[in-house]
């Protein structure tokens, strides 16, 4: 009688036993879940290729996103409205309107309001027309706000002998400073407070207690085009 030889367990039987998909066992635990291995992540470079809203940079894991502007706008709208539906026709009851919660101060700065009245810019003459997103006004206005805030921050820094190029890629309060983070932070508390944050590290918050540092971190690393 021949000695019986016990069969070695196959990879398939092991997978069935532990109930783990084969792809996890056959690949790196990082690549199996679509996450870049820490060993392959480069540290931020000291020399940045800088243009108006985008820099060529290797970001830390938390900031590595290959998203485009629409992803950034959607994420911002969800945060501002508190709704996955991101409605245009909404108000917080505290003077903030629409999908991106435009304040009266911002609407005046953009030329949509003057002395408590709508100016008719882009064909909008009433709050109702603005909330209905007449002529796609809210999407136009948020891009105008980005450009206004970016230029204002850059100009204020230049008055102090600095530039946004001096800060992009660095960290502050645990947040990597990126173009999209700067725009989001300025949207929540204003351009002046972002300048103060960059120069002194002092944070500011809106009426709900949300800080510009929170937005700087939360919205870091989105790819943006030239507006």
Tens of pLDDT along 96-106?
A: 999 999 999 99
pTM of the model: 0.69
> Would the pLDDT of 55 be above 60?
no
What whole-number percentage of the chain has pLDDT above 70?
Answer: 68
Q: 12-34 pLDDT, tens per residue?
A: 443 333 333 332 223 332 222 22
* Residue 97 near residue 131, CB atoms below 8 Å: yes
Q: Which is more confident, 176 or 37?
A: 176
Give residue 159's pLDDT band: very low, low, confident or very high (50, 70, 90).
Answer: very high
> Would the pLDDT of 194 be above 70?
yes
Give residue 58's pLDDT band: very low, low, confident or very high (50, 70, 90).
Answer: very low
Q: How far is CA 10 from the centre of its chain?
A: 47
Cα three-residue angle 179-184-188, rounded to 5 degrees: 150
Give residue 62's pLDDT band: very low, low, confident or very high (50, 70, 90).
Answer: very low
Quote the pLDDT of residue 226.
55
Pick the CATH number of 49-218 from 1.10.530, 1.10.150, 1.10.357, 1.10.10: 1.10.530
Mean pLDDT in the chain?
Answer: 75
Spell out the long-range contacts of 204-208 with Cβ–Cβ below 8 A and sequence spacing 24 or more. 207/94
Quote the pLDDT of residue 9.
43
Which segments of the chain belong to CATH 1.10.530? 49-218
């Amino acid at each position: 009688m021949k000695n019986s030889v016990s069969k070695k367990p196959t990879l398939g039987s092991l997978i069935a036993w532990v109930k783990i998909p084969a792809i996890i066992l056959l690949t790196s635990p990082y690549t199996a879940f679509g996450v870049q291995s820490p060993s392959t992540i480069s540290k931020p470079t000291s020399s940045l290729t800088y243009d108006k809203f985008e820099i060529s940079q290797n970001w830390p894991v938390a900031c590595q996103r290959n998203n485009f502007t629409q992803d950034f706008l959607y994420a911002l709208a969800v945060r501002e409205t508190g709704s996955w539906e991101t409605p245009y026709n909404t108000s917080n009851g505290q003077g903030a309107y629409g999908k991106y919660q435009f304040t009266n101060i911002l609407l005046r700065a953009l030329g949509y309001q003057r002395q408590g009245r709508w100016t008719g810019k882009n064909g909008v003459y009433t709050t109702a027309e603005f909330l209905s997103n007449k002529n796609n006004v809210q999407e136009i206005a948020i891009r105008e706000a980005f450009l206004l805030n970016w230029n204002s921050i850059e100009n204020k820094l230049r008055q102090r002998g600095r530039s946004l190029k001096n800060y992009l890629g660095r960290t502050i309060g645990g947040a990597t400073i990126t173009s999209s983070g700067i725009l989001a932070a300025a949207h929540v508390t204003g351009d002046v407070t972002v300048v103060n944050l960059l120069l002194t590290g002092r944070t500011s918050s809106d009426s709900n207690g949300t800080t510009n540092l929170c937005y700087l971190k939360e919205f870091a690393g989105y790819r943006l085009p030239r507006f």
